[in-house]
């Protein structure tokens, strides 16, 4: 089986890896109103996905606490999570923020159409910054809830909660381009820049620092007073490492779940030895047969002898 060659152009990869607010600024600088409108809509989709993702995580984790410990445990977890002396960013937020953000996006589009590039960019930058603060609130709250579950019910409960929170068969039967574009979108949802490179074998995502788990480490979320939990002991939940910050555990859970659902991981993360200090490359392979065996064994799984791929069903170009 011959793996597909290049699927994306260098320009496609460059634009796909940009923060949408930066891509918008570039389009406005070039006087390309059509592209500017397109990037405004792209930003709007990313903000919706970000809110839905973190709200969905939180709802699932709270349901798990309720199931495991009852209403009093859920109240205690929320009381601890929302202590403003510990983590003010976790406290209450506008419940329907996206409705206002969508209205702001329409104002940005109107400014673009009216030729007010300065006003459009100013509004877009303010929207991006506000959304980033909401993003960081979400990942802080998720970390706190996962830490509560781990401390009160054990690491196995963390794994179960994450299995329920993360999709298992996402795009399992899609071609390479569709899977790649979905992963590009969900990487941009974190509102940070990253780099994309493609070779004959795979697409590589590389962030200067992980936009979620790495930033949590850099910003002290695993130190006092927030005190995020680190899951200890080699296991599939830690990629076989001696420990892993609890938020980061969603990555091995996603990989394991997608392997169990489809036979292959949707993508794989190669965590650095110094999390939060060095990049953790993410790889999306064109042909699952090329995925190194250790990406399976670190999860306690065996690599299939002949992993099937959507490319087999859709044609050798991976589309």
pLDDT value at 258 more than 60 = yes
Closest CA to 15 of 279, 183, 179, 196: 196
Return left, alpha or beta for 239; rule: phi > 0 is left, psi -120 to 50 is alpha, else beta: left
Q: What is the mean pLDDT of residues 145-157?
A: 98
Mean pLDDT value across residues 254-268: 90
Nearest C-alpha neighbor of 88 from the set 141, 130, 150:
141
Model confidence over 192-208: pLDDT tens digits?
Answer: 999 999 999 999 999 99
User: Residue 262 — very low, low, confident or very high, per pLDDT cuts 50/70/90?
Assistant: confident
Tokens linked to 314: 């859709």
Residues 43-85 have pLDDT tens digits of 999 999 999 999 999 999 999 999 999 999 999 999 999 999 9
pTM over 0.75: yes
Radius of gyration from C-alpha coordinates of the chain: 20
Nearest to 22 by CA among 35, 4, 9, 6: 35
Tell whether the model's pLDDT for residue 244 goes beyond 90.
yes
Q: Give the model confidence (pLDDT) of 95-139 as tens digits.
A: 999 999 999 999 999 999 999 999 999 999 999 999 999 999 999
If pLDDT is split at 50, 70 and 90, which confidence band does 170 have? Answer: low
Structure tokens at 92: 């209450």
What pLDDT, on a 0 to 100 scale, did the predictor assign at position 171? 52
């Amino acid at each position: 089986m011959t793996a597909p060659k290049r699927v994306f152009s260098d320009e496609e990869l460059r634009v796909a890896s940009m923060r949408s607010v930066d891509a918008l600024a570039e389009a406005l600088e070039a006087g390309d109103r059509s592209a500017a409108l397109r990037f405004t809509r792209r930003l709007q989709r990313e903000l919706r996905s970000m809110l839905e993702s973190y709200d969905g995580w939180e709802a699932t984790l709270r349901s798990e606490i309720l199931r495991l410990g009852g209403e009093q445990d859920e109240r205690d977890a929320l009381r601890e999570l929302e202590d403003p002396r510990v983590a003010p960013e976790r406290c209450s937020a506008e419940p329907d923020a996206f409705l206002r953000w969508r209205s702001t996006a329409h104002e940005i589009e109107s400014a673009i159409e009216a030729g007010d590039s300065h006003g459009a960019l100013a509004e877009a930058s303010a929207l991006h910054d506000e959304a980033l603060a909401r993003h960081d609130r979400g990942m802080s709250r998720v970390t706190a809830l996962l830490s509560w579950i781990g401390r009160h019910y054990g690491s196995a409960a963390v794994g179960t909660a994450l299995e329920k929170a993360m999709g298992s068969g996402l795009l399992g039967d899609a071609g390479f381009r569709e899977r790649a574009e979905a992963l590009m979108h969900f990487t941009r949802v974190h509102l940070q820049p990253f780099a994309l490179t493609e070779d004959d074998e795979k697409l590589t995502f590389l962030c200067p620092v992980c936009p979620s788990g790495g930033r949590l480490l850099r910003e002290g979320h695993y130190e006092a007073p927030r005190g995020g939990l680190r899951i200890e002991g080699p296991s599939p939940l830690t990629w076989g490492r001696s420990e892993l910050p609890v938020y980061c555990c969603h990555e091995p859970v996603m990989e394991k779940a997608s392997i169990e659902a489809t036979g292959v991981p949707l993508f794989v993360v190669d965590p650095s030895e110094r999390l939060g200090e060095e990049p953790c490359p993410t790889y999306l392979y064109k042909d699952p047969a090329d995925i190194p065996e250790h990406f399976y064994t670190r999860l306690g799984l065996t690599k299939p002898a002949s992993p099937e791929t959507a490319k087999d069903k859709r044609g050798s170009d991976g589309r």
